[in-house]
Amino acid sequence: MELLLIWRILRRWAWLIAIPVLITVALAVPSLLNRGGASGGFTETITFSAMQSITAIPRTDGDYQDIWLSSELTVNAFSDWVKNSSFKQELAKIVPNANLDALSIATDNAHSVGQIYLSYPTADGLQALGDAAIKVLSTRNQAYFAQLGGQPATVTVLGQTPVTAAPPAITDRLGPLIRIGLGLLAGLALAFLAHYLDPVLRRREDVESLGLPVVGAIPRQ
């Protein structure tokens, strides 16, 4: 009986449900149609290894660290440096017209190999910033790490992916559908509110719910 009542409410107030749905659809259609280009910006990944010069700081015999451990520590340090403001300041010297506030940098340093993930709104801008990042990483590291002894560590680029369009953010892709869903929920809420506030008695059950006996009913046809 409850399901039948819900069906009657939805059928009676279908026009009221449709109003917010149509409004949200009208607002969401431009977003659904305008999906060309790379609204998610562009991305690039740089993979590198690094090694401190073993001649930079004189040591006594037996004071050398393992060469692989030294490389791992250097990669770890550089991965943290890349995410700091000083690295962006160095980038600004090479690419002065870049909007560094729009540049997103993330890193990983698993298995003694560093990875730099760059994101930027334009492809040309990201290409320039990616090349600048390699140059800064290779030639300016000694200015920020005193333990390098004033000599730049050797940085080897193991791979550099092409600049590719990033997919739009999940919120951008689902945003129009979410708005339509919210419009549908608003329409359903209006329908049940209208039913609750409706003073008209239309069916036998409406009269009986008030505690009044029904002697007879006139059929619709």
pLDDT number for residue 178: 86
Q: Average model confidence (pLDDT) for the chain? A: 84
Residue 35 has pLDDT above 60, yes or no: no
DSSP-assigned states of every residue in 79-141: HHHHTSHHHHHHHHHHSTTS-GGG-EEEEE-GGG-EEEEEEES-HHHHHHHHHHHHHHHHHSG
DSSP string of 141-180, one letter each residue: GGGT-GGGTTSPPEEEEEEEPPPEEPPPPHHHHHHHHHHH
Per the model's pLDDT, the better-predicted residue between 59 and 50 turns out to be 50
Q: Tokens 């006996």 label which residue? A: 213
215 residue type, one letter: V
Chain segment 81-93, per-residue pLDDT in tens = 999 999 999 999 9
Tell me if the pTM is above 0.85.
no
pLDDT score recorded for residue 161: 93
What's the pLDDT at 205?
A: 72
Residue 112's pLDDT band, with cuts at 50, 70 and 90, is confident
Q: Is 37 left (phi over 0), alpha (psi -120 to 50) or beta?
A: left
- CB of 173 closer than 8 Å to CB of 32: no
Comparison of pLDDT for 12 and 54, the residue scoring more:
12
Please report the pLDDT score of residue 58 as a whole number.
59
Tens digits of residue pLDDT in 177-206: 888 889 999 999 999 898 888 777 667 777
Q: Which CATH number fits domain 42-165: 3.30.1150, 3.30.70, 2.30.30, 3.30.1490?
A: 3.30.70
Which residue type does 13 have?
Answer: W
> By three-state DSSP, how is residue 14 classified?
helix
pLDDT at position 65 is 55
118-136 mean pLDDT: 94
- The continuous run of DSSP H or E covering 43 comes out as strand 42-51
Region of poorest pLDDT, from 44-53, 59-68, 138-147: 59-68
Q: What average pLDDT does the segment 6-34 reach?
A: 84
Every domain of the chain and the residues it spans: 2-35+170-197, 42-165
CB 112 within 8 Å of CB 49: yes
Instruction: Please state, in angstroms and as integers, the Cα–Cα distance from residue 58 to each residue in 27, 54, 109, 124, 155, following that order.
Output: 69, 8, 28, 44, 21
pLDDT at 66: 67
- Region of 90 on the Ramachandran plot (φ > 0 left; ψ -120 to 50 alpha; else beta): alpha
pLDDT at 64 over 70: no
